[in-house]
Structure 1
Amino acid sequence: RWRDKYPEDRRYDAAFRLPMQRRGLEALPFRAPHFTDALIRSAPAQGGVETTSLDLAMQNTLERLLTRFLEECRPMGVKNASAMLLDTQTMQVRALVGSANFFDKAIDGQVNGMLAKRSPGSTLKPFIYGLALDQSLIHPKSILRDAPTAFGAFSPENFDGRFVGPITAEEALTRSRNVPAVALSAKLNRPGLYQLLQHAGVSRLASEQHYGLALALGGGEVTGEELAKLYAMLANGGRLRQISWREREGQENAPRLLSEEAAYITLDMLRQNPRPDTYSPAVPPVAWKTGTSWGYRDAWTAGVLGKHVLVVWVGNFDGASNPALVGIRVAAPLFFRMVDGLQAQGLVQREKQVLRPAGVSEVEVCAASGELPNVHCPLRSKTLFIPGKSPIRASTMHRPVLIDKRTGKAVCTPGKDTEVVVFEFWSSEMRRLFREAGMPRREPPSLPDCGDGQAAMRQETEAPRISSPLRGGTYAVRRAKPVPLALRADVATGAGALYWFADDAFIGVAKKGEAVAWVPERAGRYTLRVVDAAGRADARQVLVEFSE
Structure 2
Amino acid sequence: MRSLFSRLFTFRFWRRLTAVVVVLIAVTASGLWLADKVWPLPAPDVQVAKVVVAEDGSPLWRFADAEGVWRYSVSLKEVSPYYLQALLTYEDRWFYSHPGINPLAIMRALWQNLTNQRIVSGGSTLSMQVARLIEPHDKTFTGKLRQVFRTLQLEWHYTKDQILTIYINRAPYGGTLQGIGAASWAYLDKPPSELTRSEAALLAVLPQAPSRLRPDRYPERAQAARDKVLDRLEEYGVWDKAQVEDIKQESVWLAERQAPQLAPLLSRRLLAESSTDVIHTTIDASLQRRLEDMVMGWKSQLPPSTSMGILVVDHSTMSVKAYIGSVDLNDRSRFGHVDMITAWRSPGSTLKPFAYAMALDEGLIHAESLLQDVPRQFGDYRPGNFDTGFSGPVSASDALVRSLNLPAVQVLEAYGPKRFTGNMRNAGIVLRFPLNSDPNLSLILGGTGMRMDQLVSGYSAFVRQGKVAALRFRPEDPLIERQLVSPGAAWIVRRIMAGEGRPVPDSQISDITPLAWKTGTSYGYRDAWTIGMNGGYLIGIWVGRPDGTPVAGQFGYATAVPILHQINHLLINRNSQLAKNWPKDPRPYSVSRAVICWPQGQSLEADDTNCRQRRQAWILDGTIPPTLPSIGQDTGIGGWLNLWINAEGKRVAPDCSGAISRRIALWPIALETWLPLSERRASRLPERDTACPPISYDVSPPLLILGLKDGAILKRIPGTQSLDLRLDTQGGRGKRWWFINGESLMETEEDKPMIHTLTNSGKYQISVLDESGQVNSVGFVLE
TM-score (structure 1 length as normaliser):
0.71
- How far apart are 1:441 and its partner, in Å? 3.8
SS of equivalent residue, structure 2 residue 321 = strand
Question: Would the aligned equivalents of 1:128 and 1:192 in 2 still touch at CA under 8 Å?
Answer: no
| Structure 2 counterpart of 1:355, one-letter code | P
Do structure 1's residue 519 and structure 2's residue 519 form an aligned pair?
no
Question: Would the aligned equivalents of 2:515 and 2:533 in 1 still touch at CA under 8 Å?
Answer: yes
Range that drifts further, 326-335 or 367-376:
367-376
Question: Would the aligned equivalents of 1:121 and 1:294 in 2 still touch at CA under 8 Å?
Answer: yes
Match of 2:551 among 303, 319, 322: 322
Instruction: Report what 1:214 is aligned to.
Output: 442
Do structure 1's residue 309 and structure 2's residue 547 form an aligned pair?
no
- How far apart are 1:294 and its partner, in Å? 0.7
Match of 2:355 among 128, 143, 152: 128
Range that drifts further, 51-60 or 363-372:
363-372
Following the alignment from structure 1 to structure 2, what is the Cα–Cα distance between the partners of residues 193 and 476? 30
- How far apart are 1:92 and its partner, in Å? 1.4
- How far apart are 1:60 and its partner, in Å? 2.2
Do structure 1's residue 116 and structure 2's residue 343 form an aligned pair?
yes
Question: Would the aligned equivalents of 1:295 and 1:321 in 2 still touch at CA under 8 Å?
Answer: yes
Following the alignment from structure 2 to structure 1, what is the Cα–Cα distance between the partners of residues 210 and 461? 63
Instruction: Report what 1:235 is aligned to.
Output: 463
| Structure 2 counterpart of 1:312, one-letter code | I
SS of equivalent residue, structure 1 residue 255 = strand
Do structure 1's residue 151 and structure 2's residue 346 form an aligned pair?
no
| Structure 2 counterpart of 1:225, one-letter code | D
Change (3 A) 1:165 1:51: same
1:138-192 deviation line (CA, Å, top 9, x unaligned): 1110010001111111110101010010000111111011111112111114763
Matches within 5 A, 1:17-166: 19-21=212-214, 27-41=258-272, 43-45=273-275, 47=276, 49-71=278-300, 73-74=301-302, 76-77=303-304, 79-166=306-393
- How far apart are 1:445 and its partner, in Å? 5.4
Do structure 1's residue 359 and structure 2's residue 590 form an aligned pair?
yes
Instruction: Report what 1:452 is aligned to.
Output: none
Match of 2:413 among 186, 190, 197: 186
Question: Would the aligned equivalents of 1:122 and 1:216 in 2 still touch at CA under 8 Å?
Answer: yes
SS of equivalent residue, structure 1 residue 240 = strand
Change (3 A) 1:429 1:17: closer
Range that drifts further, 508-517 or 54-63:
508-517
Change (3 A) 1:17 1:182: closer
Runs of 5+ in structure 2 lacking a partner? Answer: 1-108, 123-204, 217-255, 502-508, 628-638, 653-662, 716-722, 733-765
Range that drifts further, 356-365 or 309-318:
356-365
Change (3 A) 1:445 1:388: closer
| Structure 2 counterpart of 1:103, one-letter code | N
Following the alignment from structure 1 to structure 2, what is the Cα–Cα distance between the partners of residues 50 and 354? 35
- How far apart are 1:97 and its partner, in Å? 0.9
| Structure 2 counterpart of 1:217, one-letter code | L
- How far apart are 1:203 and its partner, in Å? 6.1
TM-score (structure 2 length as normaliser):
0.51
Runs of 5+ in structure 1 lacking a partner? Answer: 275-280, 413-422, 450-457, 491-506, 522-545
* Larger RCO (CA within 8 A; separation ≥ 6): 1
Instruction: Report what 1:495 is aligned to.
Output: none
Following the alignment from structure 2 to structure 1, what is the Cα–Cα distance between the partners of residues 771 and 474? 64
SS of equivalent residue, structure 1 residue 123 = coil
- How far apart are 1:381 and its partner, in Å? 3.4
- How far apart are 1:11 and its partner, in Å? 1.1
Following the alignment from structure 1 to structure 2, what is the Cα–Cα distance between the partners of residues 130 and 229? 16
SS of equivalent residue, structure 2 residue 280 = coil
1:438-493 deviation line (CA, Å, top 9, x unaligned): 887472352567xxxxxxxx9xx9999989799xxx96612799989999789xxx
| Structure 2 counterpart of 1:44, one-letter code | S
Q: Percentage identity across aligned positions?
A: 26
SS of equivalent residue, structure 2 residue 466 = coil
Match of 2:666 among 419, 426, 435: 426
Change (3 A) 1:467 1:60: farther
Following the alignment from structure 2 to structure 1, what is the Cα–Cα distance between the partners of residues 664 and 467? 42
- How far apart are 1:510 and its partner, in Å? 8.6
SS of equivalent residue, structure 2 residue 625 = coil
Matches within 5 A, 1:285-434: 285-346=514-575, 353-366=584-597, 370-376=601-607, 377=611, 380-387=614-621, 389-392=623-626, 426-427=666-667, 429=669, 432-434=672-674
Instruction: Report what 1:501 is aligned to.
Output: none
Change (3 A) 1:27 1:59: closer
Following the alignment from structure 1 to structure 2, what is the Cα–Cα distance between the partners of residues 171 and 297? 26
Following the alignment from structure 1 to structure 2, what is the Cα–Cα distance between the partners of residues 403 and 340? 65
Change (3 A) 1:137 1:48: same
| Structure 2 counterpart of 1:372, one-letter code | S
| Structure 2 counterpart of 1:300, one-letter code | W
Change (3 A) 1:78 1:513: farther
Instruction: Report what 2:713 is aligned to.
Output: 478
Question: Would the aligned equivalents of 2:417 and 2:440 in 1 still touch at CA under 8 Å?
Answer: no
Do structure 1's residue 244 and structure 2's residue 446 form an aligned pair?
no
Question: Would the aligned equivalents of 1:301 and 1:311 in 2 still touch at CA under 8 Å?
Answer: yes
Change (3 A) 1:411 1:154: closer
Name the structure where helix makes up a greater proportion of residues: 2
Question: Would the aligned equivalents of 1:479 and 1:547 in 2 still touch at CA under 8 Å?
Answer: yes
| Structure 2 counterpart of 1:386, one-letter code | L
Following the alignment from structure 1 to structure 2, what is the Cα–Cα distance between the partners of residues 476 and 21? 82
- How far apart are 1:428 and its partner, in Å? 6.2
Q: How many residues align?
A: 466
| Structure 2 counterpart of 1:231, one-letter code | Y
- How far apart are 1:424 and its partner, in Å? 9.1
Following the alignment from structure 1 to structure 2, what is the Cα–Cα distance between the partners of residues 135 and 167? 20
Following the alignment from structure 1 to structure 2, what is the Cα–Cα distance between the partners of residues 508 and 107? 53
Following the alignment from structure 2 to structure 1, what is the Cα–Cα distance between the partners of residues 772 and 569? 50
| Structure 1 counterpart of 2:674, one-letter code | F
Greater C-alpha radius of gyration: 2
Following the alignment from structure 1 to structure 2, what is the Cα–Cα distance between the partners of residues 463 and 171? 30
Following the alignment from structure 1 to structure 2, what is the Cα–Cα distance between the partners of residues 321 and 18? 52
Change (3 A) 1:479 1:29: closer
Q: CA RMSD, aligned part only?
A: 4.7
- How far apart are 1:258 and its partner, in Å? 1.7
Question: Would the aligned equivalents of 2:431 and 2:448 in 1 still touch at CA under 8 Å?
Answer: no
